[in-house]
Amino acid sequence: MRADRLVAALLLMQARGRITAAELAAELEVSVATARRDLEALSAAGIPVYPQPGRHGGWQLIGGARTDLSGLSAPEARALFLLAGPAADASGELKAALRKLLRALPATYRDEARAATDATLRDPAGWGERERDVPGDVRILQETVVRRRAIRFGYRDATREADPWGVIDKDGVWYLLAGTDRGRRTFRVDRISDLTVLDRSFERPGDFALDEAWTEVVGAIEERRSRTWATVLIPERFLWVLQDHFGLHCHPGEVLPDGRVRARVGAPTPRDIARTLSGWGAIVEVEDPDPVRAELSRIGAELVTLYGVKAAAPGSDGRERR
């Protein structure tokens, strides 16, 4: 007996609740005797089906039991649809696949799965920011990663060839991690032009793991982003704002008797630190290094030259008093 007939018989019982051997035979285009043997085989295999005699009898699953052909447990199904729910930009293929998966789930799972798709909304734009568009080449690059097809593209006024190993979404900015004749390289997808998929195929290194490789890339970039460090003093109540500005590159230290916190902040250059701190005025004091203090002094001098030394008193409407 064929396994596909047994699966079909099980699905028909799940869909109809009860089915006779004659109805199953008509659906599967087999004899009634063969259909009856298939139903008996399901019962012998441990599937909870049983025959109910009488005029309105037939075979049915005991207690309305259902078999989950997707292989997912209830928590696994819920987790999958929680993840898929926020994907407002999901492709038509993904949405169709999720609909099919939803139909394959047991009825007892479906309500929670449907609810999970509406439980979370992902808003990728920060406050006061515009949402970044997904570069059109992302879908193509994802396909080349899956199909292991090499690519050619323009990047920084040069033509490159690479083996695409993975695509990464870093806070709305997409990157390609690829193998080249110079080793592993990272490219911003929105700077790629004239992307062409080549006939040549490739194999990723056997020990390659995308998450581990990206962690290394992030570590190297973050190190470059904090080549300059400064020691600053800031009122403790404003420390969280400083941490929000500098992120990983803000290391709070001791709290001084006057209520200020001594902290270390990092950025690529002294000018980058000064630009971030200049809007704080005298609230933040830079203890060191001298290049950062010099940049702040320069910015302050430029502002005085541009706007003059007169300033409205705190809380005033900015108009000159007579």
Of the two residues 103 and 210, the one the predictor is more confident about is: 210
Q: What is the pLDDT of residue 66?
A: 55
How do beta strands 193-201 and 149-155 pair? antiparallel
Q: Which amino acid is at 108?
A: T
Q: What is the pLDDT of residue 121?
A: 75
For the chain, percent of residues with pLDDT exceeding 70:
84
Of the two residues 256 and 68, the one the predictor is more confident about is: 256
Q: Please say whether the beta carbons of 210 and 184 come within 8 A.
A: no
Where are the domains positioned within the chain? 3-64, 74-117, 137-223, 228-307
Strand partners, 260: 235
Q: What is the pLDDT of residues 257-296, one digit of tens each?
A: 999 999 999 999 999 999 999 999 999 999 999 999 999 9
CB-based burial label for 189 (10 Å; 0-12, 13-18, 19+): buried
User: Where does 228-307 sit in CATH, by number?
Assistant: 3.30.70
CATH for the 3-64 domain, from 3.40.50.970, 1.10.357.10, 1.20.120.530, 1.10.10.10: 1.10.10.10
Of the two residues 124 and 185, the one the predictor is more confident about is: 185
Smallest CA-to-CA distance from 228 within 161, 290, 181 is with 290
Of the two residues 315 and 4, the one the predictor is more confident about is: 4
Q: Computed over its alpha carbons, how large is the radius of gyration of the chain?
A: 32
CA dihedral 37, 35, 18, 64 (to 10 degrees): 40
Q: Please say whether the beta carbons of 29 and 66 come within 8 A.
A: no
Q: What is the pLDDT of residue 214?
A: 94
Give the Cα separation of 234 and 176 in Å (integer).
Answer: 39
User: Where does 137-223 sit in CATH, by number?
Assistant: 2.30.30
Q: What is the pLDDT of residue 80?
A: 72
Q: What is the pLDDT of residues 99-144, one digit of tens each?
A: 777 777 777 777 888 888 778 777 777 788 888 888 989 999 999 9
Indicate the helix (H) or strand (E) that contains 37: helix 32-44
Smallest CA-to-CA distance from 109 within 134, 89, 80, 136 is with 80
Which of the 8 DSSP states describes residue 302?
Answer: H
Task: Please report, for the chain, how many H helices and E strands are present, in that order.
Answer: 11, 12
Task: Transcribe 38-70 into DSSP letters.
Answer: HHHHHHHTT--EEEE-STT-EEEEGGG----TT
Give the Cα separation of 252 and 64 in Å (integer).
Answer: 61
Reply yes or no on whether the pLDDT at 200 is more than 50.
Answer: yes
CB atoms within 10 A of CB 219: 9
Q: Please say whether the beta carbons of 141 and 189 come within 8 A.
A: yes
Mean pLDDT rounded to a whole number for the chain: 84
| Tokens at 277, concatenated | 């701190």
Q: What is the pLDDT of residues 250-268, one digit of tens each?
A: 999 999 999 999 999 999 9
